[in-house]
Structure 1
Amino acid sequence: MKLRKLGSQGLTVSEQGLGCMGMSVAYGPTDDAESIRTVHRAIDLGVTLLDTADMYGPYTNERLLGRAVKGRRDGLVIASKAGNEIADDGTFTGRVNGRPDYLRKSVDGTLRRLGVDHLDLYYLHRVDPATPIEESAGALGELVAAGKVRHLGLSEASAATIRRAHAVHPFTAVQTEYSLFTREVETNGVLASLRELGIGFVAYSPLGRGFLSGRITSVDDLPEVDFRRIAPRFQGANFDRNLEVVRAVVELAARKEVTPSQLALAWVLAQGDDVVALPGTKRRAYLEENVAASRLELTAEDLKTLDEIAPPGVAAGDRYPADAMAFLDG
């Protein structure tokens, strides 16, 4: 696995990370034993960036990752996130909380659940509209000064918010959804701002929540308890329109004798050396397929064809249901 510099603050990570959310929530039945084997296999294959969050569960995914990395911590970049408010009884409040006191409390719980003495990368998971970003960034900077966190990140933040936060304390990474289906960062100023400021970009859901794998041809292919069943891009006419794009990706992948997932991941990686892909999986077979995408070199003609197949704005439907879309900054 090749390495890339994530931002200009000295952090180096594998060009593909491993998103761990689906090991605990959102995508149907889970299997902790297979998930742990998947994490171990990822480490063996050179994946160093492992990504979780306190809200995944809540809490269960951090505990699972803690079990998986026990005894294998050296050389890993462990990332977690906070800001989707969780009450003392472990339930979601439905609010975003970026207040300094909440972030200080959250990081201590995350460190305890992961069984580590510091986080390599800590994100504000969502921007709190009721708390000035300068206050949130200042509190996160205090965690760096205290040695609890090495590097800071933002998730789903606008270009203006990123600039304001970075003016308070240097940020290393911004994590936002990015794939052939989701290219807004190219047009809303986010990617340009990151490059100007020397902040790295982590692309989550680079496979369009599995749609770009080509394995989903009907909503009936999804487990009964699966977040995607309520996601707008997987609904009705939106699904049918998006499936047409996927079929074109599948055809190009077949001509190149690779899988659609590998083609989609290679496209993300080709968008710049400052871009790190974060595919999520809970199975070793899919992990190995994804990692192999790092060996795929796309030609200028391939990239041109993919731009024609999936230009910015091609996907039908919002990325999340309306209530979750309201939490996105800008």
Structure 2
Amino acid sequence: MAAVKKIKLGSQGLEVSAQGLGCMGMSSFYGPPKSESDMIALIHHAIDSGVTFLDTSDIYGPYTNEILLGKALKGIRDRVQLATKFGISFANEKREIRGDPAYVRAACESSLKRLDIDCIDLYYQHRVDTRVPIEITMGEVKKLVEEGKIKYVGLSEASASTIRRAHAVHPITAVQLEWSLWTRDVEEEIVPTCRELGIGIVAYSPLGRGFFSLGSKLIETLADGDFRKFLPRFQPENLEHNAKLFDRVTEIAERKGCSPSQLALSWVHHQGDDVCPIPGTTKLDNFNQNLGALSVKLTQEEMAELESIVASVNVKGDRYSADISTWKDSDTPPPSSWKSA
């Protein structure tokens, strides 16, 4: 296996491995938490393989994923670039999007404690609080940078105008967004905005939450409590249609001598040197397979063929159910509207 190259993420100086590791599924959302010792072994294997850009959030668990990462990184903190997030509060079993300064500071302090570190490499606002001007949220984040608690600042699921306004307060290093063969909306406005401002792009769910590994069979493998069972694209009436996309991708992968998931992941890599996908997994074999995607080189003709397949299949179903707020409605009020408590 060739060494994993490093890429510059954004224009503020952060360097990360060209592929990262999403750690969410180790602790939450995709069924019950996995064995701590197995997950620590997987994280160590990833780092030894050259995948050093690790992605977590306080909401994963909640809280347990950061604790897991803290344990895994004992004695090897300097070998990784660690990203975590704030913005989804889970107080009293109730989920709430928050961006007020007091919450931002408390969330950062708590993440530092759970991760057992002095400084977070990349700190994202996980979801944008549409009640709080982004300038106010970023003002507090900027103070945390000045205090040495954060090195670089990111946004996740933010609209183009929110990205611009945030970047004017403190340079944004990366925007995390869902980008894959079946999630393309971001190409219209978000990606061009990031490129204009010199902001790196971190693609989560680059394998369509596992769809490009198994196609419609994925649903049969999901554990009780796996939230993918409730996503619109995985409902029977949509899944049957969407399976056509997996079938076509599989045909190209067979010609290419790689797996469908490697082809789908390679497609994300081919979107540009400013894009870092962070596929998540809890299995060593899947991790190794994902790593193999870095060696899959696609020609312009193959890229064009994939484009035409996606256009012809026209994926059915939204990526989230209606109750989950995403970048589509993440504009915030003007700074003049803010009255601090």
1:89-143 per-residue CA deviation (whole Å, 9 max, x = no partner) reads: xx44222000111010000100010011000000000000110001011111111
Tell me the equivalent position of 1:15. Answer: 18
Normalised by the length of structure 2, the TM-score is 0.93
Residues 210-261 of structure 1, C-alpha deviations (whole Å, 9 max, x = no match): 0011254263232222111101100021111111111111111111110111
CA shift, 1:285, in A, is: 1.0
1:32 to partner: Cα distance: 1.7
Which range moved further: 218-227 or 23-32? 218-227
Do structure 1's residue 50 and structure 2's residue 50 form an aligned pair?
no
What is the aligned partner in structure 1 of residue 129 from structure 2? 128
Matched length: 326
Q: Does 1:86 align with 2:86?
A: no
Could you tell me which residue of structure 2 aligns to residue 155 of structure 1? 156
* Counterpart position of 2:42: 38
- Whether the aligned pair in 1 keeps the contact of 2:9 and 2:274 (CA below 8 Å) is yes
**1:120 alignment partner, SS class:** strand
User: 1:192-221: CA deviations, max 9, x gaps?
Assistant: 010000000000000000001125426323
Counterpart of 1:10, as a letter, is G
Provide the C-alpha distance between the structure 1 equivalents of 2:87 and 2:68, rounded to a whole number of angstroms.
20
Match in the other structure for 2:193:
193
| Equivalent position SS for 1:323 | coil
Do the aligned partners of 1:125 and 1:156 also contact (CA within 8 Å) in 2?
A: yes
Root-mean-square deviation (Å): 1.5
Answer whether contact 2:20 2:278 (CA < 8 A) is retained: yes
* Structure 2 match to 1:102: 103
* 8 Å contact from structure 2 (residues 159, 327) kept in 1: no
Q: AA paired with 2:142?
A: G
- In 1, Cα distance between the equivalents of 2:84 and 2:130? 21
Q: Is the partner of 1:122 in helix, strand or coil?
A: strand
Structure 1 runs of 4+ with >6 Å offset: none
- What is aligned with 1:138? 139
What's the secondary structure of 2:297's corresponding residue?
A: coil
Q: Mark the CA change 1:25 to 1:160 in structure 2 (over 3 Å): closer, same or farther.
A: same
AA partner of residue 237 (structure 2): A
Distance 1:303 1:326, change over 3 A: closer
Distance 1:194 1:284, change over 3 A: same
Tell me: CA distance 1:109–1:218, structure 2 relative to 1, closer, same or farther (3 Å): closer
SS at match of 1:262: helix
Q: Report the CA distance between 1:326 and its aligned residue.
A: 5.9
SS in 1 for 2:280: coil
Distance 1:312 1:61 in 2: 39
Secondary structure, counterpart of 2:176 in structure 1: strand
Which structure 2 segments of 5+ residues have no match? 331-341
Alignment of 1:311-322 (within 5 A): 311=311, 314-322=314-322
Deviation of 1:329 after TM superposition, in Å, equals 3.5
Q: 1:281 corresponds to which letter in structure 2? A: T
Q: Which runs of 5+ in 1 are unaligned?
A: none
**SS of aligned partner of 1:276:** strand
Q: Which AA in structure 1 matches 2:157?
A: E
| Residues 138-184 of structure 1: per-residue CA shift (max 9 Å, x gap) | 11111100000000000000001000000111010000000001011
1:28 and 2:31 aligned: yes
- % identity of equivalent residues: 51
Q: Aligned equivalents of 1:112 and 1:194: distance in 2?
A: 31
Identify which range, 267-276 or 310-319, moves more after superposition.
Answer: 310-319
The AA in structure 2 aligned to 1:260 is: P
5 Å-filtered alignment, 1:257-296, equals 257-296=257-296
User: Whole-Å Cα distance in 1 between the matches of residues 38 and 27 of structure 2?
Assistant: 12
Task: For 2:107 and 2:329, locate their aligned partners in 1 and report how far apart those are by CA, in whole Å.
Answer: 21
Cα distance in 1 between the residues matched to 2:312 and 2:106: 39
More moved, 272-281 vs 222-231: 222-231
TM-score (norm 1): 0.96
What is the Cα deviation at residue 314 of structure 1?
A: 2.9
Aligned equivalents of 2:164, 2:28: Cα separation in 1 = 32
Match of 2:73 among 69, 75, 78: 69
CA shift at 1:35, angstroms? 1.1
Q: Distance in 2 between matches of 1:302 and 1:68?
A: 39
